[in-house]
Amino acid sequence: AQTVTQSQPEMSVQEAETVTLSCTYDTSESDYYLFWYKQPPSRQMILVIRQEAYKQQNATENRFSVNFQKAAKSFSLKISDSQLGDAAMYFCASYYNQGGKLIFGQGTELSVKP
Partner 1 sequence: GAGVSQSPSNKVTEKGKDVELRCDPISGHTALYWYRQRLGQGLEFLIYFQGNSAPDKSGLPSDRFSAERTGESVSTLTIQRTQQEDSAVYLCASSFNRNQPQHFGDGTRLSIL
* Distances, alpha carbon 11 to alpha carbons 51, 79, 91, in Å: 23, 12, 13
For residue 36, give the amino acid letter. Answer: W
Interacting residue with partner 1 among 69, 97, 111, 113 (CB under 8 A): 97
Contact status: 106 vs partner 1 (CB under 8 A): yes
Cα distance between residue 16 and residue 25, in whole Å: 29
Minimum Å gap between C-beta 15 and partner 1 is: 25
Chain mean position to CA 110: 12
Contact status: 62 vs partner 1 (CB under 8 A): no
The interface region with partner 1, picked from 19-27, 68-76, 77-85, 101-109 by CB under 8 A, is: 101-109
Tell me which residue of 56, 41, 49 sits closest to 77, measured CA to CA: 49
Say if CB 27 and CB 19 are below 8 A apart. Answer: no
Residues counted in the chain:
114
Minimum Å gap between C-beta 16 and partner 1 is: 29
Contact status: 32 vs partner 1 (CB under 8 A): no
Residue number with CB closer to partner 1 (28 or 98): 98
The interface region with partner 1, picked from 22-30, 39-47, 58-66, 78-86 by CB under 8 A, is: 39-47
